[in-house]
């Protein structure tokens, strides 16, 4: 089967191989973050296909769910770069978090280090420091 993508005729298998490379990278990034949370004693889970969110929503922003002790759960959106997290994803993540009494958290890389911030906050914080404060 042939598809036309950006004016180029490509096979379906070629397109799937390209997509799966990026999907695998995203899964690996989410797996690393999940491991960091578990290493700090915070249970963290990845929804199947990272398709968390409301049924029918255009974006599915929930990549991970973390359950810190004695604190509200965290709904986490993981991205390679902060600029790749769209306003739609931020808004949907905030709405879901508000409905289930969770905190929305964005995690991304800056200069090969992971940083995080709550949706609505302006300041970036190193992920390690955030986790140290979270387990206190």
pLDDT tens, residue by residue, 55-65: 666 667 888 99
Q: What is the model's pLDDT at position 127? A: 92
Torsion angle of alpha carbons 124, 83, 109, 49, nearest 10°?
120
pLDDT score recorded for residue 12? 53
pLDDT band at 110 (very low <50, low <70, confident <90, very high): confident
Partner residues linked to 66 by β-bridges? 44, 74
- List, for residues 95-108, the tens digit of each pLDDT value: 989 999 999 999 99
CATH number, residue 26? 3.40.1350.10
Residue span of the structural domain in which 8 resides: 2-134
- Closest of 26, 127, 5, 16 to residue 84, by C-alpha: 26
The pLDDT of residue 13 is above 80: no
Q: Which two tokens stand for residue 37?
A: 């949370």
Q: Are strands 103-110 and 74-78 parallel, antiparallel or unpaired?
A: parallel
How many separate domains does the chain show? 1
CA angle 55, 56, 61 (to 5 degrees): 70
């Amino acid at each position: 089967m042939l598809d036309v993508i950006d004016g180029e005729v490509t096979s379906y298998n070629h397109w799937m191989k390209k997509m799966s490379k990026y999907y695998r990278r995203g899964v690996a990034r989410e797996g690393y973050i999940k491991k960091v949370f578990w290493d700090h004693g915070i249970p963290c889970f990845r929804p199947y296909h990272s398709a968390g969110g409301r049924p029918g929503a255009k974006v599915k922003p929930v990549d991970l769910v973390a359950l810190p002790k004695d604190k509200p759960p965290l709904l986490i959106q993981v991205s390679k770069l902060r600029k790749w997290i769209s306003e739609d994803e931020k808004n949907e993540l905030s709405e879901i978090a508000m409905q289930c009494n969770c905190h929305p958290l964005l995690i991304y890389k800056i200069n090969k280090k992971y940083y995080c911030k709550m949706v609505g906050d302006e300041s970036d914080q190193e992920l390690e420091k955030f986790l140290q404060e979270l387990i206190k």
